[in-house]
Amino acid sequence: MTAEWQIFAAVFAVGAASYAMRTAGFLAADALPQDGLWPRFLRLAPGNLFVAFAAAGIFEGGWVSLVGCLGAAATMRATQREWAALGTGFALVALAAIVDALMRARL
């Protein structure tokens, strides 16, 4: 499969999964348990997945990514504006990348 077809396959496979999640709860509402471990698990999953994603990303990106993540999260907490958090994270990572490049050049 060429790279282009892989991309389209990914778009439609992830898209189908995304739409399935949007409709499955509505279609299976009567069959889903309303309390107990299952609905709790569904509600708690996103936050833990986000943390795992951030941790793995910081592990890979190093201190530059850590600075960006902390800046984005702090800005979101302070402003409740996603665009402000994205802008802050972007700017901090650009600055940290400059500092990182300067530090490497001196070594």
Residues 53-92 close enough to bind other proteins by CB under 8 A: 53-61, 64-65, 68-70, 72-73, 75-77, 81-83, 85-87, 89-91
Whole-angstrom Cα distance, residue 43 to residue 21?
Answer: 13
Cβ atoms 90, 69 nearer than 8 A: no
What's the token pair of residue 107?
Answer: 């070594």
Residues 5-44 that bind other proteins (CB under 8 A): 6-15, 17-30, 32, 34, 37, 39-44
Nearer CB in complex with other proteins: 69/107: 69
Nearer to other proteins, 23 or 107 (CB): 23
Regarding 49 and contact with other proteins (CB under 8 A), the answer is yes
**DSSP classification of residue 7:** H
Number of residues in contact with other proteins under rule CB under 8 A:
78
The alpha carbon of 44 is separated from its chain's Cα centroid by a whole number of angstroms, namely 15
Q: Where do we find the tokens 């997945």?
A: 49
